[in-house]
Amino acid sequence: MHSEPVDLSAWRTRALDFERQLNDVLVGMPRTVRLMTVAVFARGHVLLEGDVGVGKTTLLKAVARGIGGAYQRIEGTVDLMPGDLVYHTYVGDDGRPRVEPGPLIAQGSELSVFFFNEINRARPQVHALLLRLMAERTVSAFNREYRLPWMQVFADRNRVEREETFELPSAARDRFLMEISVETPDARDQLRGLMFDTRFHDADALIEKISPATLDHTRLNDVAAAIQDTVQSSEVLDNYGVDLWLATRRPAQYGVRLSDVDIDEFIQSGASPRGVAMLVRAARVQAWLEGRDRLVPEDLHEVFFEAIAHRLCLSPVYENQRPLYARPFVAEVLRQIASP
């Protein structure tokens, strides 16, 4: 770990350069790229959601290259077991069984990005291990404990295919700083480029354009702490944030309404204390990226949906239609609570 002072101005320049490079690689995704940049400097884990082939893996490989450190990926399958994350077995050339470190510990403490593809295909036992990993950044294997101080977990959920899937429990979802949607761009010229411009047909070549270790992964924890200490709030903004929080928990009391929804039966539980703390953590990074040392309401607005929507526990009758109701509900919360 490093202890030397953090020059936040110089780091902001590096962060914006990192963001610019990502935007050069990923067409038409400026908001997604900004949210990923926020997550990197907030040191939070991220759920990614999007259709097949929209660039989630390319995005993560580009982020990993820009951060530096080691990158590992594992595929969620119905037969994946917790042990598969920490070791793998095989038969050696001499016919004897071998046990080698798995993707979580193969690089030791140098692991900076761990990508869990199609996490909802993995069984609850695997989710339980991941929960500890995300909370403590440690894992036990081979009679010792491995510390992963710079690791961020990025997990992708398949939202198209539902067979042989296991939805993440609310406790697991709450460990993720944000859930970020990765969508195909809408602009016709961007679609034409993705279809016909050959440079977008080779993802590995695109990723090579990212400068390696633009961000020093071993310093990001210190930078994140400095951002949180530097960007200040105010009593007025604090009260506004509390009202937003309470509106997710008691929407009817705050005048939140949705058509065709019994709002009194809609929410089982709103955002958790951890969730709103992470909301403010992300908002402080957003303010810093914008060159400010004080929070404004727009900073909360910019990250509110991604930090809060996946934490809401809806009543069973509405849970199966979460994509239909989550965004309108969050938008209505922001509309009903007057911004200072």
Tallying the residues shown for the chain, one arrives at 340
| Cα distance between the two ends of the chain | 40
The Cα–Cα gap between 63 and 161 comes to 26
Domain ranges of the chain: 8-216, 231-336
| Higher pLDDT pick, 132 / 40 | 40
Q: What is the pLDDT of residues 184-240, one digit of tens each?
A: 777 787 777 767 766 776 778 888 989 999 999 999 999 999 999 999 999 999 999
37 is written with which tokens?
A: 């940049």
Angle at 22 between CA 33 and CA 42, to 5 degrees: 50
Q: What is the mean pLDDT of residues 51-69?
A: 87
Query: Encoding tokens for residue 314?
Result: 């809806």
Q: What is the pTM of this model?
A: 0.92
Angle between helices 273-289 and 8-25 (to 10 degrees): 90
Task: Phi first, then psi: give them for residue 139, nearest 5 degrees.
Answer: -150, 145
Q: Which CATH class is domain 8-216?
A: alpha beta
d(CA 309, CA 144): 37
Integer Cα distance of 261 and 322 in angstroms = 12
Report the DSSP beta bridge partners of residue 113: 71, 152
Write down the pLDDT at residue 1: 47
**% of the chain with per-residue pLDDT over 90:** 55
- Tell me, which fold does domain 231-336 have in CATH? Helicase, Ruva Protein; domain 3 (1.10.8)
162/223: higher pLDDT: 223
DSSP assignment string, 26-80: STT-HHHHHHHHHHHHHT-EEEEEE-TTSSHHHHHHHHHHHH-SEEEEEE--TT-
Contact (Cβ atoms closer than 8 angstroms) between residue 67 and residue 112: yes
State pLDDT tens for residues 281-308.
999 999 999 999 999 999 999 999 999 9
Mean pLDDT computed over 237-258: 95
> Residues 37, 46: contact at Cβ < 8 Å?
no
Residues 268-284 pLDDT 10s: 989 999 999 999 999 99
